[in-house]
Amino acid sequence: MKNRWAETPDNEIDQLVYQSRLVGAEESLVLWGGGNNSVKAHSTDLLGAPIPVMYIKSSGSDMKTIVPKEFPAVRLDYIEPLRSRDGEMSDQEMVDYLARCVVDPSSRRPSIETLLHAFLPARAVLHTHADAILALTNTRGRETTVRECFGDSVITVPYLRPGFRLSRDVADAFASKPDAEGLVLMNHGLITWGDTAREAYEKHVELVSRAEEYLSRGSRESGVGATTPDTRHPTPELLAPAIRGALGAKRSVILEFDGSEDVLRFLARDDAKRITQIGPATPDHLLYTKRYPLFLEAGDDVSKALNDYVERYTAHYKNYPSEFAMLDPHPRVVLVPGAGMWTAGKDARAARIVRDIYRHTMRIIESAQGAGGYETLNDEDAFHAEYWPLELYKLTLLPKEKELAGKVAIVTGAASGIGRACAERFAEEGAHVVVTDVDIALAEEVAKSIVAKHGLRRAIALRLDVSGEDDVERAYAETIAAYGGVDIIVSNAGISSFGSLDVLPAADWDRAFAVNARGHFLVARAALRVMKQQKTGGSIVFNASKNVTAPGKEFGAYSVSKAAEAQLCRIVALEGGEFGIRANMLNPDAIFGGSRFWSDEMRSMRATAYGISSENLPDFYRNRTLLKTEVTADDVAEAALFLAGPRSSKTTGAMVPVDGGVKEAFPR
């Protein structure tokens, strides 16, 4: 590992931030909020009296992007007496106590390992979950392996969950050998220290580098990497919907797929199934990835394999009587030799975290295998790590899930108007949105704005001409690759054409049907195929038109093709019902804001037909409604949300006007 320290900021907090970002940039040291660091200093209390304090990384902060305010100061004069406390201290007692030690009550909660840092006398302390260290401590030899690598230059401490007892054990171990270069926590990570953040960092890099070199020698000597390729599985595009449906039978999940070369190489190992069922490298990893992945071999039935996994998890839970209800028993990692790895999460960010952590788990397993054989937490330790009260308490603080949480929605014609409004509204309600349009530049703008507002991978943009069969199939394949499947379709893309029938070019008629009828058919057909594979139902919302029930003069091609779309919706409802797939349609009218439907030519044509000026056209349409109101794209999106989501779960084959009340368009 390269020592990247190149400058030393002036004050201690800035040095901590600098150290954190160097560490956070090394994925082999920490991932997604892992690791912690601290520095001891002096401050003043409310009355201006000097007090000893420790600035420590706040709980959950990401070292890669951390800022000064994420290092709360805690009073050492309050914490140090705990070192000599008699008896135990529960996790909740410790958390409550630390809350009273924070100098600024409005600051973020300090790390759960605050006591560990405070009990060490060194000014600067750094703790990471370095892959190389975890590989050393997750071997059959454990202590022997660590000694072979470091000799007597480091202290080792047996595995314990973070908390008061571990903090005291670490302090006692340090006191017995204060001249050690570092301290290795079994199944947990590495701690180094020094007078400055730089010194603690440089010791860390040195020890991790020694571990990496030791493991490299072991891998070369053991011949790790011998593999047997397995290509008997179906393609990822065919597997993903079945996997996602099986995992999301009770709660929708987002999948992330990784078919990279190193993942495929790992899964092609002769011993891949055995070594992946040993367990996670650390308790921290377990909280994200669960204890085991689901390993699918060629010919395995996905549903049966998942049921077996759930039974195994349930039996493990029953072996350890607990005051806590059983957590979700489904896997978060699915491994398929010859295909790749899928990771599951409540959203794309959670799935990405699981993916990143399990990629590191693979490397740790391989390194440990080369150093004598991979071993990790026993059954009891693994259970209590997963059912740790402090982590379970965090679950109670999570906000209520939104209406479309965990759902994947494809919206066609989503670069503007009704499509864009639907994409943005669905994202507000938790959906992951595939923004499709023939104008990819505009579609990308919409997707980027959704991601900026809602987070990692919450939207992607795809170019899609719905009239092209290959284009539609490609768009669904890319959606499956991105999220694992699809739950909701807003079949919105359409074109307008005008002209009386006696002069209408046949090409315009054909183009109207290519988009407004064939396009909806191709999109619905592909949706039905994926939704049947998932076996979790789905919802397809067709954006029809007021013209379905009230055709317009000189709008023949548009009106007839939209009527065909309406009939298609009814057929989809008939054929999809037994699979839990619903199909409903919206009939909006005169949506002007942000719509490409109303070109200058279209406005002029309709204004001329009504004998008014173009600028008065919106007022004309508004005044002809019973409610005398303007209908916006947002209004249509709200209706689409209702039809797409659980509030209309008993409704299919319905037609919902969103037109302000156009009496000529009343369904009849």
Q: Which residues are catalytic?
A: 558
CA distance 432 to 351: 13
Tokens 């070594």 — which residue?
275
Tokens 């901590």 — which residue?
16
- Mapping DSSP to helix (H, G, I), strand (E, B) and coil, where does residue 328 land? coil
Both tokens of 180, joined, read 């050690």
CA distance 123 to 15: 13
CA proximity to 509, closest of 560, 545, 549, 551: 560
- Mapping DSSP to helix (H, G, I), strand (E, B) and coil, where does residue 358 land? helix
Q: Which residues have a Cβ under 8 Å from the Cβ of 553 and sit 6 or more positions away?
A: 500, 609
The DSSP secondary structure of 548-587, one letter per residue, reads GTS--TT-HHHHHHHHHHHHHHHHHHHHHGGGTEEEEEEE
Q: Which residues have a Cβ under 8 Å from the Cβ of 323 and sit 6 or more positions away?
A: none
8 Å CB contact between 418 and 596: no
8 Å CB contact between 492 and 413: yes
Q: Tell me the residue ranges of DSSP E strands in 464-520.
A: 488-491
Cα 609 from chain centroid? 52
Number of Cβ within a 10 Å radius of residue 17: 21
Radius of gyration of the chain (CA): 30
